[in-house]
Amino acid sequence: LSDELQNIQANIYALFNQLQVRIRMTDAGAQDIAGGVIEALTEQGMRIIDQGSYDLMIEVSATLRPVEKNGSHFVFADSRVTIKDSDDRILSTFSKRAKGASGYPDLARAKAEKSVANLLANELAAALVDRID
């Protein structure tokens, strides 16, 4: 990269590091996937705070629905994310669906939780770059 582009990239990283993000899990299903969502976001370099002022509030809700069919266990995870600014204005909202399957109910649930957490983290990263001006 040219020196100018390297400076721009460094400025973007510095601003991203200053971004104060809070996550609020709005229901029991969201609490079930909270660890995975936070892990995936921090792996992408996002800094999460749990108190004080914030620039962005990420609200997550999720429903986990188990189904058993012919000895196989499936868990369907439906989730919704709303991103708000510090003035409580909605900047972006989206929903994602994932599925986990296994011969064991707990493993199917764990797979669904991990899958939906990764989907949400990737969509959140895209939303922060593409949708929020």
Supply the DSSP string of 23-66, one letter for each residue. EEE-SHHHHHHHHHHHHHHHHTT--EESSS--SEEEEEEEEEEE
Tell which residue, 91, 90, 88, has the closest CA to residue 133. 91
Token digits of residue 108: 């199917």
Predicted pLDDT of residue 128? 72
Predicted pLDDT of residue 124? 82
Predicted pLDDT of residue 132? 52
Predicted pLDDT of residue 131? 55
Token digits of residue 6: 């390297």
pLDDT tens, the chain, 133 aa long? 899 999 998 888 888 788 888 999 999 999 988 888 888 888 877 888 888 899 999 999 999 999 999 999 999 999 999 999 999 999 989 999 999 999 999 999 999 988 998 888 888 877 776 655 5
Q: No. of H helices and E strands in the chain?
A: 3, 5
pTM of the model: 0.79
Predicted pLDDT of residue 93? 92
Predicted pLDDT of residue 32? 87
